[in-house]
Each structure stands twice: as C-alpha cells, then as structure tokens.
Chains A and B, each alone.
Chain A
C-alpha cells in the first residue's frame, strides 16, 4: 500500500495533522476537535521512546480512514504534549476519569517492578511520585483496551534482558485479570508503525483482533520473516554485507513471526535483510538472545 496521508490523520492528532492539512488549520480544528471520541493515553515506562518515534514515522495505515475520522485524540503523550509538570499529570488524570472505560491505554516500555518500582517515575500527582508500575495498575483497569507497544512492553525485551536487575515486568503480567479485554501485544523493537496504527484503528472499529498465543494480532504475527523473504531462493552466504540468504549465519527469519518483508520500514524504504544484515528476531518473546544471533540459534 502506498503512503496515504489521509490515513495517518485518523490516528494521532499530532502526527496526523501535518500530513494532510499542513496549511489548513481550520479544517484541522474541525476534524480533531470532537471531544466525545475515545482518546488515547500513551505512557512511557522503561523504554527508549523508539516506539513513539516509529509511530510518528507512520505512512501506511489501513484503508478504513473514513470510518475512523473523529474517533481518536491524544490526551496524554509526554513526548508531544504542550503541558508539563502538574498540568501534564492533571491532563492524564482528567482524561482517565472523563473517559473511564472508553480510552485506549498504550504502554511503551517495560515496567520496573518488585523492589525496583522507583526505577521509573513518570511524574508527581499531588506531590507524590507516581511510579510507572502504579500508573499502569491505576489506569489499566480504567481503559477499554490496553496496548503494549513494542517488545519491551510486550515481552520485556531489552529492558528486561538478563540479568534484569530492574525487575522489569510486562504489561500483560502486571495487568493479568485486571483489564476488560486482553492486552494486545504489538511486538517489535521498535513496533512497526503500520502494526501500531492499524491496530488502534482495528480496536476502535471492530474491537480486539484475533490474537496468537503471545497475544499478538495474528494478522501480523502468523508468518515468519523467512516464509516471505525475497532472499529465500538465493545463495546462502557466510557473512553479512554480501547479497544472499543469511540462514547459515543465524538469521532469525526462519523462526521469527513478523511482517517485515511485506510491510518493510520507513515508508517502505528498507528492512533488515534488505540492508544486508540478518533478522535479529526483534518481535520474538526471546529477544534479545545472548548472543543476539548465533548460527545454532534457530536449529
């Protein structure tokens, strides 16, 4: 699918607007002002903001934009929002209360738990530091849907890599039994923008999509990278940086479920194998292995 500027508009107030309505603020205001729409609250835990950045880079959501127009607005996103300090924390609290049971909670990054809850503090409410751990417990049950954006939030990822001294847990484990609907895991390091945005649209339109055993939407995570890799029939090579198939040097493509060869990255400008390096399996629950790739790792 080619870049569709209209599509982006449907999702994030911030990112969206530019792509369609650069010079048309009146229309932007009309489109995005509807305050009755279920909003998105986006919280960042122990992560790198890569999923936020990746999402800003989106160019290819699905084609259901007309239905979704006016359906979403970004009420809390610490990367983009104008408010700071108390104003920001109030915006979070107000949105969660006003839209109790209706909003989509997106969580980026894993969540330091146990004795390490204080390793991630997202702000202060009424003079009391709010840990990411407590924020997820506070707002998760109020959300209509909870989305774990990226491999850290979904499976722990790099944030929880051994020895995980910060005690990072996943969204799903922390909110087990506490959410209205199953947590949707959008794996990827970072999450692919199309997977992220399309899933938000799916949630609004039709509810929780069909999920695999790892709670990932099946439509993106039922095919291995390898099964649709354009290099399947090419000669196996013994080092990266040479055109060919990287199975011999531990490419994770054969065991890794991810839509990369078909969706690609950054407005279809590339993906890992296209840049002559093996897939390192970044959508897998086991990511990152030690070593990240090894010849025997998918035997």
Chain B
C-alpha cells in the first residue's frame, strides 16, 4: 500500500486536501477528501436581522455568491408567505443565470482544462502534471487560446450580471422581496448584447471544445463514476406559480424520483465537530472540535435517505431530462455544457419578459418569527438555507452547500462521500503524477469556502434565543 496526498488541490475555491491509498496494482483502495478552512458563518448570522443574511451569506463564496443571496431571500420570503412578482423572479433568474455562465466557463477552461493540456510554459501554468496528455500540439494551441478567450467571456458574464445586480462578486440588491433594480430599456439592450456574445461562445467554442475533450478522453466516461445517486433542489422560476426550468428531484440507478426535503440529515462522525450527528438541517447544531479523534475534515456529511447523493449540473439535467447518459468525469463535463446551452437560450426568453422600468421588489420588511428553508441551486449543485427567526432576529441558521454533498467525508455508517467514492477504484498510471485524481475531483467543481459552517455551541445559542416552533 502506498499513499498519495494532494494538499492543496489547486484550481478550485478554498482549501481542499485529497489523500488516497493505492493497492498493489496502483488502484485507489481508499480515499479521504478534506476541507481545510473553517469560517463559522452560521454563528455570525445569529441575532442579526433576517434581511442581512442575503448579504452576509454571499460572502461565503466569491465564485457563486448569487445563489446564496437567492436561497437566503427565499427563506425569508417563505416565512412571510411572500413570492416576488414575475419581474423580480426574472431579474433573479438573469443575475443567477449570469453567475452560472461565469462559473461554468471558469470551471471548464480555467479550473479543469489544465488537467488535460499543458498551458503556456510560464507561471502560473508551469508545474502541472505531464502524464497522459493526449492532444496534438495544434489542438493544445487551440485549447490554450480558448482558455485565454474564455477569461474574457467569464468576465463579460460578470459584467452582464452587474447591469442588474450592481456588482459582482457580491450582488448589491438581491434581497427578501425581490431585486431592487429598475431595468431601463437601454440596460435590457445592453444585457442582451452581452448575452448574445456569451451565447455564441457557448454554441461554437465551448461546444466544440467539450466534444473534443470527450472524444480524446472517452475512457473518462468510465472513470469517477461513484454512487450514481444524484440530487437537485431545482432552480430558475419560469412563472409565479412554482414552475422551474430545472425541477427538483433525485436520481437513483438512473431513475428519477421525487425530492422530499424531510429526507435530509447531516452526519459528523468524521468531521471536526462534537455536536449531535444525524440531525435534520432545521434542527442541526455544530460545535467545532478540531482534532477530534477519527475526524479528518471541516465538512459534514449531508445524506438523503441516509444515502450519499451527488449534486451538480449532471443532477439537474438528468432530472430535467436534458441529458441522461451516465455518471462519470466526462458526463459531468458534458452535462455542464448541455445545461449552459439550455440556460443561455432561456435567459433570452426571460429577458423578453422584463418590463422596462417596472419594479421587481416589494418592501416586505423583516418577519417577526417563524422558520423556513430557502432551496435553490448553485452552479455546482443543491444549496439550502434553513432559517429560524425570533423577535425579528435570526435565531438559527443552517446552510448545506453543494460541496457539502459532494466532498463530504464518510457518514456515521462508514459510507464515503461522493467524491471519495468516485476516487475509489481509479487506476493511477504514475503515482508521482496522479492526474487521474485531479480530473475526478475537478469534475465535481468543488468549492470549500462554501462548504464549511458551524452553529454556536448549543448552550450559548439556546440561552440567548428561543427557537420558534416551525410554522408560518
């Protein structure tokens, strides 16, 4: 048995460590994936007005701040029984969609591609593995050029979002009640010009590049397959009565099932927390305990029906029926492309539905009390905020982010997390250059800034706040 340790795993947001043991044939026998940054967000939210959470939780992740603001706003809105009007929903879709496009392009070109090609031989592109590079010099050049032009496209996606969001990262105006922008006809045209640019990049450059990758590395349809269980909370409202472009659902053994929030629990036997394991997020607490015996990560283990599930674009497009091939490294890349192509064309439709000068915001104030969840999707998967309010202040806040699903450690029954499972069994050609491991990890697009969280120690929290019973 030999061991490979990758610390840090670069080209992702945050601090991630991967450690595997290899058997005598250099196949991965066991794997641990660990989040190495702990930030305590849920605790800092306590005693604040509920409306502040949309701003603070965006600061969990500079890569996908918008879904945090949306999840948080939805939780507050649910407590008050409010739903934004169509203008508000479309503005959210467009800002969140722009964030998806930015994140997706960044993921494929800037976070993943260097696992398959050698970039220019200057820092920061030197020092990568040279194992298993299959593209010709000409194709490498093409992909490198696209790496560079994709930097413009991802930037433009941010600029496009800022037309309605004020700025990115960290949108200024996605709040409970809707979005405060009053889009002018000029701004709508401006947005459309950006959207057209991005759409043409996706339908030409990105499409051909992802296909090129998939044909050169077609064996990766059989690598990183993991459990094959997929989960999505659903995202992008298509109307005011609950229609979603990508509906909620689960996939088990290829079959789509209904999603039921009540089936989610979080475990922490192998996490640096001493608080009770196996709680539903609405009642979960977290007490940090670095160095806890047997623990190896700051991430907890969310499970659905006590089973590990994988979140991300593949889950969304499988449930929506847009892509149903398999679960693997290459399927994750293909799914992301399929989703972005569908998203960008629907954004055109949503843009058509904006009314120039109309308000997508209602001043709903802060709810006095109640509990609710706000569920949506980040580019990298299902995201949920569970909020309780008492005396108009936050009395409890729990967050489950996509990377919690994917990069979670073993649960209390010893089931590895989805990324860990996807690593197990992988053949490593050259243990000195374990590029296969990077390809698998990157295909999940992990983000550890978002994935680590904690509540205050139970005693402190309970002595300060009365948690309201669930109800509207």
* Complex CA distance for A95 and B62, rounded to whole angstroms: 27
Residue A53 CB within 8 A of the other chain = yes
* Shortest Cβ distance from residue B254 to the other chain A in the assembled complex, whole angstroms: 33
Interface positions of A from 56 to 107, Cβ below 8 Å from B: 56-57, 59, 73-85, 87-91, 95
Report chain A residues within 8 Å CB of B169.
Answer: 48, 50, 53-54, 190
Residue B300 CB within 8 A of the other chain = no
A53-B63, A82-B125 as given contacts; A269 in contact with B10, CB under 8 Å: no
Which of A171-179, A206-214, A216-224, A286-294 interfaces with chain B? A286-294
Whether the pair B52, A57 counts as a contact (CB closer than 8 A) is no
* Shortest Cβ distance from residue A47 to the other chain B in the assembled complex, whole angstroms: 7
Which of B71-79, B160-168, B419-427 interfaces with chain A? B160-168
Report chain B residues within 8 Å CB of A54.
Answer: 62, 169
A121-B36, A241-B180, A275-B181 as given contacts; A291 in contact with B6, CB under 8 Å: no
* Complex CA distance for A243 and B168, rounded to whole angstroms: 21
Whether the pair B36, A88 counts as a contact (CB closer than 8 A) is no
Residue of B whose beta carbon sits closest to that of A288: B56
Q: Does more than half of chain B's interface fall in helix, strand or loop, or is it mixed?
A: loop
Residue of B123, B165, B177 most packed against chain A (CB within 10 A):
B123
Interface positions of B from 161 to 205, Cβ below 8 Å from A: 161-173, 175, 177-178, 180-182, 190
Which of A140-148, A155-163, A196-204, A227-235 interfaces with chain B? A155-163
- Interface 0/1 of A18-53, CB less than 8 Å to B: 110111010011001100000100001011111111
* Shortest Cβ distance from residue A5 to the other chain B in the assembled complex, whole angstroms: 9
Interface positions of B from 114 to 150, Cβ below 8 Å from A: 114, 118-129, 141, 144-145, 147-150
Q: How many residues of B contact A (CB 8 A)?
A: 91
Q: Of A91, A242, A280, which one neighbours B123 at CB under 8 angstroms?
A: A91
* Complex CA distance for A232 and B283, rounded to whole angstroms: 46
- Interface 0/1 of B401-431, CB less than 8 Å to A: 0000000000000000000000000000000
A272-B166, A277-B166 as given contacts; A240 in contact with B175, CB under 8 Å: yes
* Complex CA distance for A123 and B141, rounded to whole angstroms: 31
Whether the pair A292, B15 counts as a contact (CB closer than 8 A) is no
* Shortest Cβ distance from residue A20 to the other chain B in the assembled complex, whole angstroms: 9
Whether the pair A271, B39 counts as a contact (CB closer than 8 A) is no
* Complex CA distance for A63 and B119, rounded to whole angstroms: 29
* Shortest Cβ distance from residue B117 to the other chain A in the assembled complex, whole angstroms: 10
Whether the pair B127, A88 counts as a contact (CB closer than 8 A) is yes
Report chain B residues within 8 Å CB of A123.
Answer: 7-8, 15, 17
Whether the pair A19, B40 counts as a contact (CB closer than 8 A) is no
Residue A215 CB within 8 A of the other chain = no
Q: Of A15, A25, A85, A119, which one neighbours B151 at CB under 8 angstroms?
A: A15
* Shortest Cβ distance from residue A279 to the other chain B in the assembled complex, whole angstroms: 9
Residue A270 CB within 8 A of the other chain = yes
Residue B361 CB within 8 A of the other chain = yes
Report chain B residues within 8 Å CB of A243.
Answer: 182
Whether the pair A166, B39 counts as a contact (CB closer than 8 A) is yes
8 shortest A-B CB distances, which residue pairs? A50-B62, A83-B127, A82-B128, A275-B166, A265-B167, A241-B361, A266-B162, A18-B148
Q: List 29 A-B contacts (CB under 8 A).
A: A14-B124, A18-B152, A22-B145, A44-B14, A57-B168, A77-B124, A81-B11, A81-B125, A82-B11, A83-B128, A84-B8, A85-B9, A87-B129, A91-B126, A119-B37, A120-B38, A122-B8, A123-B8, A189-B170, A190-B170, A239-B363, A266-B161, A266-B162, A269-B190, A275-B166, A277-B172, A277-B180, A290-B48, A291-B48
Interface residues of B (CB under 8 A from A): 5-15, 17, 36-40, 43-44, 47-49, 51-52, 55-56, 59-63, 65, 110, 114, 118-129, 141, 144-145, 147-152, 154-155, 158-173, 175, 177-178, 180-182, 190, 288, 290-291, 298, 359, 361, 363, 438, 449, 454, 456
Query: Could you list 18 further interchain pairs (A-B, Cβ under 8 angstroms) beyond the known A75-B124, A84-B9, A124-B17?
Result: A19-B151, A47-B62, A49-B62, A57-B158, A79-B11, A82-B10, A83-B128, A85-B7, A91-B126, A91-B127, A122-B15, A123-B7, A162-B44, A163-B43, A189-B170, A240-B173, A276-B182, A280-B55
